[in-house]
Amino acid sequence: MTVVDALTATDEAIAVEDRHVAHNYAPLPVVAASADGAWITDVEGRRYLDCLAAYSAVNFGHRHPEIIATAHAQLDAVTLVSRAFRSDKLGPFCAALAALCGKDMVLPMNSGAEAVESGIKVARKWGTDVKGVSAGDANIIVARNNFHGRTTTIISFSDDDTARRGFGPYTPGFRSVPFGDADALTEAIDENTVAVLLEPIQGEAGIIVPPDDYLPRVRALCSERNVLMIADEIQSGLARTGRTFACEHWGVVPDIYLLGKALGGGVVPLSAVVADRDVLGVLHPGEHGSTFGGNPLAAAIGAKVVEILGRGEFQARAAELGDRLHRHLRGLIGRGVIEVRGKGLWAGVDVDPVLGTGKEICLKLAERGVLVKDTHGSTLRFAPPLVITAEEIDWAVSQFADVLAETGTH
C-alpha cells in the first residue's frame, strides 16, 4: 500500500486546503461534508455537535427548513441584479428589518466587517454634515480588546497584535478606552467625537459582559454630547443572548445597529447598518455601494430570518437553554474551570492554563464529538445553534467535564 493509498478522506481534504488555501486560519482537523440542525457530519461519516454555530452565523441551525425553502424558491426566480436596478425583495426586507430594530432605514451589505466599515463611514459623514465637525477631524471612540473584523481600518484600532503586525500604515481617527469604563469614555469624548463604537458583549475577547450600569451610561453620555452610539450586534444580536439584541438586557437603544452573521440564516453573507433617517439619510448616490449588497437572494433569506425572529421562539430558547448551559458550566468551576461568563447560549469559559491551551482542549473535545472554538490563551467559547436541545447541552458539558478530568490526571 502506498502512502497516498493510506491517506484518509480527511487527510486528503486537509492536504488540498494546505496547498491551495491561504493560511489565514488554523482550523480544527474536522472536514465537514454535511450538517443538519446542531450537528455536523464529516467526510468520514463521524458526527459532531456544533457548539460554535459559525460564530453565531448559524443561530437558527444548519439548514433551517424555512430558510432553505426560501432560498430554493428565490434561486428559481432571480439572485442578483446589482443595485443598478431594483428588486422586489429588497424593499420588503429592509422595511421588516427596520421595524424589528425600531428604526427607519437599512443599508444592506454582505460581511460583518463591511457593516462595520459602512457604519464608520456613515458616522463620519453624519459628523461632517449634521454635527458640523470639520472634514478630516472626526474621531470615533472604541473599546480595548474589541473585535469588529480584520479590514485595514478595523485592525487600526485593534489590540490584537497578530491582526495588526505587518499591515501598517494604520488608519487614524480612533481613540481606544477600556471596555466597561464609562468614566474613561467620558474623558475621551471631545467636540470632534462623532461616534462610540462598541460590542454590547465582547465576543472574541472571551464573551466579556460589561457592568450593568455601563451601556446605560454610554447611551446617556452619547445623547448628552451629541455623539452616535453604534452597537456592533453582529455576534451578540438576533437572539443569541436570549433577546433580539444584547443591548435590550440593559434597556438601551443605540443610534446605529450593525448586524450580520445570523441575518443571512447560515446560507448567504448578509449584513446591515440600521438607523433612523436623520443618520442614514446622510448617504447620497455614489457615496457608498456594493454590487452584492441587498441582492434578491440575500434579501429574501433576510426577510425570512426577520419573520422567524418576530415570533420570539429563538429568543426564548436561548434564554431558557442558556440558563441550563451556564449552570452546568459553572458547576465545573474548581474542577478545571476558573470562570464562566456570558448571556443566553453564549458562554466564555476560562480553563486552568495548567491543563493546556484552549486549542489543545478543543482538539480533545473534537475527538469526543464536540466542536467548540478557543480564543485567547485557555478561553473557550460555547455558542451552539439555538436549535440545540437540553439533552444535547447536557451531553456536551459532560464531555467537557470528562476532558478536564482526564487532562488533570495526566
Kindly state the DSSP code that residue 273 receives in the 8-state scheme.
E
- Alpha-carbon torsion angle 343, 349, 350, 356, nearest 10: -170
Instruction: Count the Cβ atoms, other than its own, within 10 Å of residue 160.
Output: 15
Helix (H) or strand (E) holding 198: strand 193-198
Chain mean position to CA 340 = 19
Grid cell, residue 363, equals 482538539
Size of the chain in residues: 410
Angle between helices 358-367 and 390-408 (to 10 degrees): 120
CB distance 345 to 393 below 8 Å: no
Rounded CA-CA distance 136/79 in Å is: 38
Which residues are marked as active site? 147, 232, 261
SS3 374: strand
Residue at grid coordinates 474548581 = 334
Rounded CA-CA distance 262/2 in Å is: 45
CB distance 228 to 219 below 8 Å: no
Tell me the β-bridge partners of 208.
202
CB distance 149 to 113 below 8 Å: yes
Rounded CA-CA distance 203/6 in Å is: 40
